[in-house]
Structure 1
């Protein structure tokens, strides 16, 4: 899909040219007339893109929070919203049934259950007809327990009973959905569900970078060893890596914040790497995922066994819909250590190279001139 920002820039530039008297005379009215239909098309596309975003946001809010459906919402969306509302009513009932099978004040996260359902089934034909008891069952596991029971005559005996236990690990939940519902779940579905959950639960966008995604504790990036091997390059060591480490170390203890990164001493993981590299005159992209893409495109990726100080280490802690689902980046400092702006620690730290099963890529931008 064409970038709306680019379309807006083209539209603004072209309209300005048509309205400027000197430019108009320079290019001639003939060209202006030729361009005009394209301008109208671009404006219409921009309006449609904006309208589509609004409809999506309205559909999400109306599905979860209720309220009257505006006449401005297309009929197709109205039908999807009404069916999703019906689905949520059934889901609420099934969730209550499942909660009644739990102990120790356990209960399902109803917003999580519905966010994933919305991501998978909104826009499908009649999602309310799906076996929702079967779907909710994907969010629990079962355990046999023993309790002492007293009968009407005062005799005590032990009986075995079944307790439902909520699954908190999202990877297991999605595996259950794929198996039980026979519904393939891709990374985009997972990323959308996560975004929906955060917007409904907290009123904020989902975090895309950081190292504190415990709900994805067994998440492993899905590249095969052969695909990873293809990404590895035999590269020279370069002379700038140690300087990058020194600059990164100068930021130890600086506070972590995605929202305030670059303001004062605030930083997040990708801003720390960007800033450290910038100090030696090398510019890399602004996010962890795009820094990884940059390394792949420039063929400056290396294997873990070849890591040297100054190299970048990339993690995938959860599906986020970005390049290789990368969520975190740090600077290798040598001796099995890394310097990174840690979400979980709330600051820039020097620590052991952690989460080996989540490390998905290693890059060496410091060999660039």
Structure 2
């Protein structure tokens, strides 16, 4: 048997190709896909957390609302991004800017999602009791709402702003406002659900432990609804209301500034007091009352005399009881009312007012003996000096501005309080403060004597002029005696006596030219005595007769020069110059 030599077989042992270690190919990382996967992971984590909370925590419906709020907060972000992309195309923004902005937003959304997903899960795992679960659900809802709103507003503003500058910023703000309204709605629904859950849980308790009722539930739901509606209305009206409020606040500020200036000026006397208690009027009244009471006591007691009497030194006017009440207040306000709330009656201002009062109101006493035939009578005269505002203006050396202010204050005070002057009483009737040329002519046409006609024409033409002792010689205003003096001077006759033109001086100079009342004629001067003033026959007033039962006289600051009916109360004498 032939034995053949076996063929030599070379056997090679190959390693499995699959087992061979190969160098791994380098792979490019797709940022976009990575971001997408990261976002999905975040979503998965969020769902897992949501599931864990919902299954293990009582009151899970509220947390459902919280996750729903998160979704609402994130969705407007996508809308803001889309709007930003549209604006970027419009203004030709580069592709690179688009990608950078998109990645930035996705990254922020992912990070915020992780934080929001972890926080409620962590709280839920630690608190599983019934009481704690409700608190966690409530806190979670509020936290997610707050964070979601912040993220939406910030993100929307960032994306739109990067794309279109100021335009984008406005879009971001609009997106944030929309998110806020949606979040408010979600929060409202969550609160309503929570309240209903509380009611149902209460009904699961034994009857004696239940403390909730359908009425309480209805009340809470209605209250929440009303609050929600009010917030919505306020949110819609805010853009309209805020500008109006700003305008009102500015206007109010201006008004208060003006009032503050007025209260620190002399005109504050006409404003309401800033505080209760003493006012300039009540304090002045107190000083006047104390002064008059002191005088009256001296008159009543008249020590070492048969009788007492008051003498108002050099007074000229129609008041039976003269008073400088308004003069005192006005002078005080002009002296102390600049840059100072002088109407506020603190101790310092009371002392200032008392100092002015003492300067304007003084008295002395004097024993006087009157002889009437063989009889003698001894009087205790209390001689009273009441200074007017015009005299004090000179004494205090007021400048022209303060003098003008003082005149305005006095005019306003007396015009608004004519009864305070106690002028004339029932003697004044039928007063007219203005006359037409035809009315003047109808009166003067009946006068035949030329001098008398000139006097009547002069005084009738001055009806309506203001009363002023300070301006008695200016031709712009008159007091009683200056009106009589300039009327007869216009007819060429000077009735001054002893260098004085007071009513008493004029009467003394005409004492030899008197007439009886029944013989009175136009142009005649009628002299009156209303109080004791120490002058000739105590005469304190004079008027001019114009015929037909009428006379013209300068009454006082409240009335000025007037045409009125003839009156004889307090009549002393009737004189006719030029006789």
Tell which structure's C-alpha radius of gyration is larger. 2
Q: Greater RCO between the two (CA within 8 Å, min separation 6)?
A: 1
Q: Would you say same fold, with TM above 0.5?
A: no
Q: What is the TM-score normalised by the length of structure 2? A: 0.27
**Greater helix percent: which structure?**
2
Q: What is the TM-score normalised by the length of structure 1? A: 0.41
